[in-house]
Structure 1
């Protein structure tokens, strides 16, 4: 005798539920599947789409003293006041660093690739050259940063950009503000305040503008995302190159035989 399973009885529930059936048929059932797969193979023989991400070099903060956390009578803001943005490095130094990133992209020329809306299509013959070039450029960038910011230079840049915001707060503070200002800003004091904020999960709303050291606390919070030492700054720099795949549906109803065919494909994506 066969007993039918009761779907409402939890003791009879299947350990592995049935997978929901997709309303879309598998691409393998399309008549054009073989053509699309063949196009993918020929595309791969000619090269690959590459996405290049370079980030982490630019560091800075925006200081907006119009935020509701600060009582208006604590400040004497000018009528044309606007938030200030302070960069970690000077304009000239940022330009020098940008040149290093441009040198990475300079690898891609008409001889070995063409540009797409999301990166590049790199010809297969230059795969190994690109890998070696990228490795060498990463090493060169690290050497430049170590040379430029060694001997405590990075820490001095950090203190300078921290001080700009700190001194700006002092310059617009009204006499009614109960704040006191430190005669000397030290990295160890900033680091100690950071740790305390992180341990207490501090948010901007938790800062108390009536406290004597509020300007210092505000600046520590505003610069929390910026590394205080060089090796941490270097660890946040990301230079990633990755191959991008293309779905077979984009390769249906077309013929891929040449680089020009791939260029037309990229323009249509």
Structure 2
């Protein structure tokens, strides 16, 4: 079949994952695929743990910030390393918590596949509880081991690291335009910038607060307060499935059929 032939009708063309994978073109194929799809759903689902909002970092480039040449020590574009909110030991601990959360999956409750873990339906409740426990372990660590005061110092540190980087590429007589962290000033400037929806490209290079505003914009995604950082953490499950095209020539009735199908599909991929 020529997939590019406009005279041919393809059922559910949006589900085509690969141009080389034959699409469903007949109703019997479609009915079998749907039947198998429902049967797979009866057994469980492909599931993945997704975490966002924990890693906070940024980097700087004199060219990206459009720093005028009169401020610079040279014509070179200086690019910073990544500035991380948390030092390596804290990041490593948070990563270990994430790995511990994924350790939930085992041979009893799931099947590891190229699509992620296929979690058996009877373990859905336990998985949801485990996900909540993981969120609680992250929050407890941040509140009890880090705390508001220490978190605030991490924010001050990352701001000052960025200041030192900018000063390394700016003429000394302009260093006063790049102030060290002042939480009250940063908070007030953030509120103003969020109201005006300003971007770095819209900043006035002649403004004495130009560099300060650059840093304020570049760090907007990093909360000043721990409670706001915690509120920004999202830990959720994503459910995925296989394309119907994979299900049109198989017959899934038992768990053994499911295991055979998953093994076969991985060998073909």
- For this structure pair, what is the TM-score category when the shorter chain's length is used for normalisation? 0.7 to 0.9
Q: RMSD over aligned Cα, in angstroms? A: 2.8
CA displacement at 1:25 relative to structure 2: 5.5
Q: Note the 1:57-136 alignment, pairs <5 A.
A: 57-67=54-64, 69-77=66-74, 81-136=78-133
Q: Which residue of 1 aligns with 2:15?
A: none
The question of whether the paired residues in 1 share the 8 Å contact of 2:45 and 2:118 is answered with: yes
Gapped regions of structure 1 (runs ≥ 5) = 1-21
SS at match of 1:97: helix
Q: Which has the higher helix share?
A: 2
Farther off after superposition, 115-124 or 213-222: 115-124
**TM-score, L = length of structure 1:** 0.80
The yes-or-no answer on 1:160 pairing with 2:160 is no
Q: TM-score, normalised by structure 2?
A: 0.80
In the aligned structure 2, how far is the partner of 1:53 from the partner of 1:98? 13
CA distance in 2, matches of 1:79, 1:24: 55
What is the rounded CA distance, in whole Å, between the counterparts of 2:135 and 2:264 in structure 1? 32
Note if contact 1:190-1:220 (Cα within 8 Å) is conserved in structure 2: yes
Map Cα deviations across residues 122-156 of structure 1 (whole Å, 9 max, x no partner): 12332222122112221121111111332422111
Q: Distance in 2 between matches of 1:32 and 1:94?
A: 49
**How many residues in Structure 1 have an aligned counterpart in Structure 2?**
247
Residue aligned with 1:191, SS: helix
Classify the secondary structure of the residue corresponding to 2:237.
Answer: strand
Deviations 1:29-61 (A, max 9, x none): 612344334323432333211132112111011
Greater shift in the superposed pair: 233-242 or 77-86 = 77-86
Deviation at 1:28, TM superposition (A): 11
Task: Pick from 238, 244, 248 the counterpart of residue 240 of structure 2.
Answer: 244
